[in-house]
Chains A and B, each alone.
Chain A
Amino acid sequence: MTLTQLATSPPATGPDRSVNDPPSPSESFARAQLRRVFRSWPVRMALGALVGLVLIAIFASWLGTSDPTELSPGARLKGVSAAHWLGTDSLGRDVYSRAIFGSRVSLVVGLGAATISIAIGLLIGVISGYSRSADAIIMRFMDGVMAIPGILLAIALVSLVGANLLTVLIAICIPDIPRVVRLARAVVLSVRSEPYVEAATTLGTRFHVMIWRHIVPSTVAPLIVQGTFIFASAILAESVLSFLGAGIPPETPSWGNIMADGRVYFQLQPGLILFPGLLVSMTVLSINLLGDAMRDGLDPRLSGRL
């Protein structure tokens, strides 16, 4: 224990504090730390923003002023007005309504990408961390996937297989999976050499029980943190893919699609890009802040890393 830790950790108790003290609440130090981190105001604002976003996505049908896919050729590229709170796009669709509905796409893509890549990555990572023969093959394959630039792989996949929400989701997940695998594998490797895991072995704990009881729980905290960052980067990736014309079909209301549409008319109507851009940025920023806070709280050693 370093001195700084000494100064910041709870007061030292004597070597043999009476074990018959009234039991303290079984709240671990990490949880207390997490609670402290979540008390800071930027994190609270981020949380608030995200809650708001989720509400918007759920109640989009009530919040939108018109059908986000309805074309009105007569009202193209209109500015801000009472009828169109954020103007209209090049096909006369209401930008405000499209943005409201677009939050659904962003949340689905972000959550979906985080869930899928964590689930697959955890599975492969645990196998890799436990089986030496599988490890060699798996890690070479993962190195190969990691060598391919994520954006390139994603746009190639989408354009080759065809653009829809699912392919976009998968295309965004694939480059993230190797990173999750590496993280999960690293945690498994370090945990499986912990004396408490060896102790469980000597107590006759069987392999599959060991995985669930002792190994997987210790991957939860780092993977949640990683998942948060994947959530954020997936939203960014979706907007980039749509912007490049390799995203979900252009008629679907998504923030990326609004910006892609506004690209050509940027000089004329900068709001078409800047407003959804602001939404994307605020959302991603909030998630990143939350991720930082969780990392600081759950695993102070990782503080400051990505």
Chain B
Amino acid sequence: MAKYLFRRVLASVPVLFVVAFIVFALLRLSPGDPAMILAGDGATPAQLDAMRHSMGLDRGIIEQFVIWLSKVLRGDFGVSLITGLPMRDLVLDRLGPSFALCLSTITLAVVVAIPVGVVAAWRQGRALDRIIMSGSVMAFSVPVFIIGYVLILLLSRGLGWFPVQGYRPLSEGIGAFALHLTLPTLTMSAPFIAVISRIVRSSVIEVMGEDYIRTARSKGLSERGVLFKHALGNAAVPIATVVGLSIALLLGGAVVTESVFNIPGLGRLVLEAVLSRDFTAIQTLILLSSVTYVVINLAIDVLYSILDPRIRY
């Protein structure tokens, strides 16, 4: 078990390295000169050179990469080119709203999608299954921001139940916090519910065709018993996979949702950085979200070995 764990951790090192390399290379692709942006339009060539030197831009590309990587490994992500603040502070400042949004979204998605998927598998081919599956395919065919605007139109402007936009931290009271978070959560979770429930359904259907399900039936187990005692346990691995992948995709979704609902989170920070061409910020945010992805996948790998005793090599 410990060996398995160690191997998984070790296997993700090259992936992280590739990510770091891509993120670093990405910015060198750009035709713009970061020093020019930072120094402003009126800078003299001498000022620009000084700026380049202080940023390390005059060194060899490999050297720059090594320096950058060693800094990143020490937790130093540099300073935002636009605001001049350390990236670490910027990120920590924006973490709260995004974390709240992502957590509520994935919780809602899992809580809704698993039962829905199981029910669809249970009634495979019948009317209920078709309704659920049609709803699901519709939910991930609509752009997320459209769902957001329709919800705002109906529930905020129409019925006045929720605030149109904005965010209140938990410290301002749970009521305001929850009220502001409801619509963004509903919006963002829609495609996740759709995708997860589809996977749950197909996994359960696949497992229900296995030989050991027939064995379970021949023991005299009821269909309900077969489903809960044998099918779900075996469908858990693919379900865990898709939930894990969804968690990793959350930040991408947050960019859109936070921008629709005007939530000051990391997603908005990404957008601000991109629009103002704040290279350090873009680099840091992409790197952090990729690392999150790798770490979550690692956690899922570990979860597999608990869910399925065969995966302990």
Contacts and interface: CB of A to CB of B under 8 A. Distances in A.
Contacts of A259: 143, 145-146
A20 interface: no
A304 B15 contact: no
A150 B293 CA distance: 12
A148 B290 contact: yes
A280 B206 CA distance: 33
Interface string B11-38: 0001111110111001101111000000
B138 interface: yes
A149 B251 contact: yes
Interface in A222-240: 232, 236, 239-240
Given A143-B18, A270-B149, A149 B274 contact: no
A110 B289 CA distance: 26
A285 B31 CA distance: 38
Interface string A269-285: 01001100100110011
A144 interface: yes
Nearest to A233: B140
B252 A270 contact: no
B205 A161 contact: no
B271 interface: yes
Interface in B115-172: 134, 137-138, 140-146, 149-150, 152-153, 157
Given A156-B274, A159-B277, A305-B202, A277 B255 contact: no
Interface string B156-200: 010000000000000000000000000000000000000100110
A160 B30 contact: yes
B26 A160 contact: yes
B205 to A, nearest CB: 6
A285 B202 CA distance: 20
A152 B286 contact: yes
Nearest to A175: B252
B249 A149 contact: yes
B282 A150 contact: no
A244 B282 CA distance: 15
16 contacts: A145-B22, A147-B294, A148-B293, A149-B249, A150-B249, A155-B270, A156-B26, A157-B26, A159-B275, A160-B29, A161-B30, A162-B31, A240-B145, A244-B256, A259-B146, A266-B152
A106 to B, nearest CB: 12
Given A2-B209, A152-B270, A155-B271, A160 B252 contact: no
Contact of B138 (A160, A266, A273, A285): A285
Contacts of B286: 148-149, 152-153, 156
A285 B141 contact: yes
B202 A304 contact: yes
A303 interface: yes
Interface in B272-307: 274-275, 277, 282, 285-286, 289-290, 293-294, 297
Given A148-B290, A240-B145, A305-B199, A140 B18 contact: yes
Contacts of A157: 26, 29
Contacts of B18: 140-141, 143-145, 147
B15 to A, nearest CB: 5
Contacts of B142: 277, 280-281, 284-285
A188 interface: no
Contacts of A305: 198-199, 202
A97 interface: no
A292 interface: yes
Contact of A285 (B137, B150, B195, B206): B137
B149 A274 contact: yes
Contact of B143 (A42, A236, A292, A306): A236
Given A2-B209, A4-B209, A143-B18, 16 more contacts: A42-B134, A144-B14, A147-B16, A148-B23, A148-B293, A149-B252, A160-B282, A161-B30, A243-B143, A246-B275, A267-B157, A274-B146, A285-B137, A285-B142, A304-B205, A305-B202
Contacts of A298: none
Contacts of A143: 14-15, 18
Nearest to B137: A288
B275 A147 contact: no
A277 B143 CA distance: 7
B274 A159 contact: yes
Given A155-B255, A159-B274, A273 B27 contact: no
A54 interface: no
Contact of B150 (A240, A246, A274, A306): A274
A166 interface: no
B248 interface: yes
Interface in A180-232: 232
Contacts of B29: 157, 160-161
Contacts of A149: 248-249, 251-252, 286, 289-290, 293
